[in-house]
Amino acid sequence: MAEIRTVGVVGAGQMGSGIAHVSALAGFDVALYDVSLEQAKQGIAKIAANLDRQVAGEKITAADRDAALARLTAADGVGALADVDLLIEAATEKEEIKRRIFQQVCPILKPEAILATNTSSISITRLASSTGRAERFLGIHFMNPVPVMKLVELVRGIATDDGVFETSKAFVTKLGKTMTISEDFPGFIVNRILMPMINEAIYTLHEGVGSVESIDTSMKLGANHPMGPLTLADFIGLDTCLSIMQVLHDGLADSKYRPCPLLVKYVEAGWLGRKTGRGFYDYCGEMPVPTR
């Protein structure tokens, strides 16, 4: 079985920086790439702050933090990804963007490199077909926030090689995560179940059945969820929620997956949740305030 030593992460947003964080902490050398060097550096600054928080909470030592930071580099252009053993794409949840990234990076990667996507819902087999090396491609789907959440879903495309799958399993195990294996269907397991529930919570708000607070409190105290569905939607990012619902709707061709018009409106307004400071809650002050 091939061994992974270096990891390239494309996309330094919430997920890409989380994946880079846990990979560096587990001993892998990591190059983090985004649309600009500035964005990649911002991702590393966010990782440094999160590592500090882990040191303060006594989850890791200061030496672990320093060693992880020393393994992280902000990539200045795709050329910095040429030598990676594993490339994990964690850019915006849009198929054209992901396809363009693979077209850009595939020609410069080593032939034996493994290619993975962190997509929440897009077909692994279809994305793999845009790489020219479908047998070395798979889905490695992390949960948000990556350093905290224990699960990783592994998704095999129709052409994924067994050895590639086994090497990827060993990588996930080394990160200290628990994995489940999902077939390549829209939303895989977690989002096939979770996202229709979030979408239904947004319909419940849209139809005036309850306020933001009532809906979140109902599910927290009535269903024992650690976080209400609207808080969770803001946390995931409303653009990501909408993209996943669109993939479920298109891929499963059932009207029960129709994205709620209110979700569409929030995304059109640029109210994407925590990452933009406003979604179903406003995050400008000390405490989140419902926006409806």
Q: Which residues are catalytic?
A: 120, 141, 153, 191
- Amino acid 284 reads C
Between residues 35 and 223, which has the closer beta carbon with respect to ligand NAD?
A: 35
User: What is the arrangement of strands in the sheet containing 6-10, beginning at the earlier edge strand?
Assistant: 72-74, 29-33, 6-10, 86-89, 114-117, 137-142, 151-156, 178-182
Q: DSSP labels for 158-189?
A: TT--HHHHHHHHHHHHHTT-EEEEE-SSTTTT
- Nearest distance in Å: CB 130, ligand NAD: 14
Tell me: cis bond preceding 196? Omega within 30 of 0 counts: no
CB count in 10 Å sphere of residue 263: 24
CA–CA dist 203, 199 (Å, integer):
6
Residue nearest to ligand NAD (CB): 13
Spell out the residues 6+ positions from residue 253 whose beta carbon is closer than 8 angstroms to its own. Answer: none
The answer to whether the beta carbons of residues 128 and 159 sit under 8 Å apart is yes
- Nearest distance in Å: CB 10, ligand NAD: 5
Residues that bind ligand NAD (CB under 6 A): 10-16, 33-35, 39, 90-93, 97, 100-101, 118-120, 141-144, 236-237, 240, 275
- Nearest distance in Å: CB 274, ligand NAD: 10
Between residues 144 and 214, which has the closer beta carbon with respect to ligand NAD?
A: 144
**153: Cα separation from own chain's centroid:** 11
Between residues 67 and 99, which has the closer beta carbon with respect to ligand NAD?
A: 99
CB count in 10 Å sphere of residue 179: 17
CA–CA dist 188, 203 (Å, integer):
23
> 141 forms bridges with which residues in the sheet?
153
- Nearest distance in Å: CB 80, ligand NAD: 12
The terminus-to-terminus CA distance of the chain in angstroms comes to: 53
- Give the number of C-alpha atoms closer than 13 A to the C-alpha of residue 261, restricted to the C-beta side: 2
- Nearest distance in Å: CB 106, ligand NAD: 14
Between residues 80 and 90, which has the closer beta carbon with respect to ligand NAD?
A: 90
CA–CA dist 181, 17 (Å, integer):
23
Between residues 15 and 260, which has the closer beta carbon with respect to ligand NAD?
A: 15
> 216 forms bridges with which residues in the sheet?
none
- Nearest distance in Å: CB 214, ligand NAD: 24
The answer to whether the beta carbons of residues 212 and 230 sit under 8 Å apart is yes
Between residues 214 and 246, which has the closer beta carbon with respect to ligand NAD?
A: 246
